[in-house]
Chain A
């Protein structure tokens, strides 16, 4: 027994959701192993983690927006990434020397999308889900117009392919990138003033405002960071797939939110641990692998993700009244 209030109990309370996510991942892999041979092998685990890395990176966008509070979420991350991938593919055209230009375009583009989202939801006080959903529709519209007039051409630069698709030994390179990103995020959110401000606005907007924080600007910056990150992830997606196509990013939106919720990020803001989010992403990817292995395809994937997210909201986010 762990003594209540003791140091071990405290750390258990803080990491309850992480432990739950980890146990669920183990459970899924064990169940998968009984159904599909070789489900529980190092190779399979590494492939799962590699695919989960993309979900985890998209979840970072959600986590930053969610941390800023106001029930914020960014539904436009999928099409932001898709659009960047489509336009930078033709810029890079398979050459390394054009990578810098592609990164600049991605940054500028992500900045513009993020700023529009942030301005509309923070300054005009429109619900962020409606704004970002409309934004993703606009981006999808731009992609439709572009692909109606021209073919999607081009290839990612080799460097990008090495980072996103290739492995060093048995370890996919994207895992190293994810570790690097995690370190940067942990420092940025927990060791800098900016991180404290972001969580402060999410935790209690009024208090943050009264202590002199420009809360609207903080929220807008959160959306700008989300948009810019999503745009850069578009480059990685392109590097992983080798070609750009119309719906390459849109399937990541729901998992990115679900992973953040699994990881214990509070929808009401002011809270969030990126390690948990990564575990959440791995959990969802393992679930997806299992559903695919069972041959349930597209329908099973969406039903499965939908049920998981609903159940998680009920278990983690619910603010049920005591009666």
Chain B
């Protein structure tokens, strides 16, 4: 082989082994498999159902990705999600539409507080973030159980707007027809994306990566690392809040325990989407790709007719395989990249 070819091959290899591009490749394969298994995968109604099913994990994963980029973890995200649905349905009264506004405001304040408490422990007290958020996850569970010992609660009718505009009374038919094309969860995700886009352009966005890459040097160069870490958890909390709006819109009820299985899936999704476990590397938008992949894996397994009882087992195995695979893959990628450099 001529030297130019070798170099071209090496650069091609190092491009493919970059986690971002390989995750795109996996996504294409997954979509192809899903489309082959489900004939009407690309047809309007079934695509809408798919988006509604995939949306929450995408929102939660974006939050988790922000936290992981900053070199942290959030093991309490599922519990926080449950807590927000409990607060929303605790405050709302079905017959008083105005209580919806109050519920949103109160829950948003609670979400910011949750982010600050997590961030205070990990950032200011400098305790291992996994341990802090493991501790707080039980705090959120307990508070959720106080508010809502059993699943249920009330929700105003217009909260359906976060799930399906067609279920909202008195909604203009024009908007109802929009909803059959663009589901509200997509708008929630778009809001999240715009929020992150502008944030990442601001100084704060770069600080998140700086702290995640090397906390000590970020601190020494004058960044208030504790504040940045608190901000990361608050951003995450806002994403979880958006997901909670969707769930209350969909189920019209709250549940202190339903969110737990999401926690691990958000971490697996972020890792599959190329977010480094060690922080500082990865793109929040590619984390969405990771969430899509994990969602599609679940969908494909569903189509493989695996009994319901296997759900938890399969989910756990997927997490281990995804995280372990991504780790091995990035180790391989580093080796391939360094080989390319040597040949040059």
Chain A contact residues, CB within 8 Å of chain B: 71, 73, 75, 120, 124-127, 129-131, 133-142, 144-145, 147-149, 254, 257-258, 267, 298-307, 309-310, 313-314, 317-321
Contacts and interface: CB of A to CB of B under 8 A. Distances in A.
Contacts of A120: 320, 324
Contacts of A75: 134
B142 A141 contact: no
Interface string B101-140: 0000000000000000100010011111011101111111
A148 B308 CA distance: 9
B160 to A, nearest CB: 29
B142 A314 contact: no
B320 A135 contact: yes
A129 B134 contact: yes
A134 B138 contact: no
B139 A307 contact: yes
Given A129-B75, A299-B145, A319-B126, 8 more contacts: A73-B131, A134-B319, A138-B316, A144-B312, A145-B309, A254-B135, A298-B142, A306-B140
B227 to A, nearest CB: 12
Nearest to A310: B135
Contact of A310 (B136, B141, B312, B323): B136
Contacts of B313: 137-138, 140-142, 144-145
Q: Which 8 A-B pairs have the closest CB atoms?
A: A141-B313, A303-B142, A302-B142, A306-B139, A137-B316, A148-B309, A138-B316, A299-B145
A140 B312 contact: yes
B126 A141 contact: no
B294 interface: no
B112 to A, nearest CB: 18
Contacts of B311: 141, 144
B264 interface: yes
Interface in B72-99: 73, 75
A304 B139 CA distance: 8
Contacts of A129: 73, 75, 130-131, 134
B200 interface: no
A307 B261 CA distance: 23
B42 interface: no
B310 interface: yes
A189 B241 CA distance: 46
Nearest to A142: B313
A73 to B, nearest CB: 7
A319 B274 CA distance: 30
B138 A254 contact: yes
Nearest to A302: B142
B309 A317 contact: no
Interface in B293-344: 307-317, 319-320, 323-324, 327-328
A146 B301 CA distance: 19
B149 interface: yes
Contacts of B315: 137, 141
Contacts of B308: 148
B48 interface: no
Given A129-B130, A319-B127, A148 B307 contact: yes
Interface string B232-275: 00000000000000000000000000000101100100000000
A8 to B, nearest CB: 31
B198 interface: no
A306 B141 CA distance: 9
A141 B137 CA distance: 21
Nearest to A308: B135
B277 interface: yes
A313 B149 contact: no
A71 B128 contact: yes
Contacts of B145: 298-299, 302
B132 A310 contact: yes
Contacts of B135: 254, 258, 306, 309-310, 313
A141 B312 contact: yes
A130 B142 contact: no
B22 to A, nearest CB: 18
A141 B131 CA distance: 24
A130 B267 contact: yes
Contacts of A304: 142
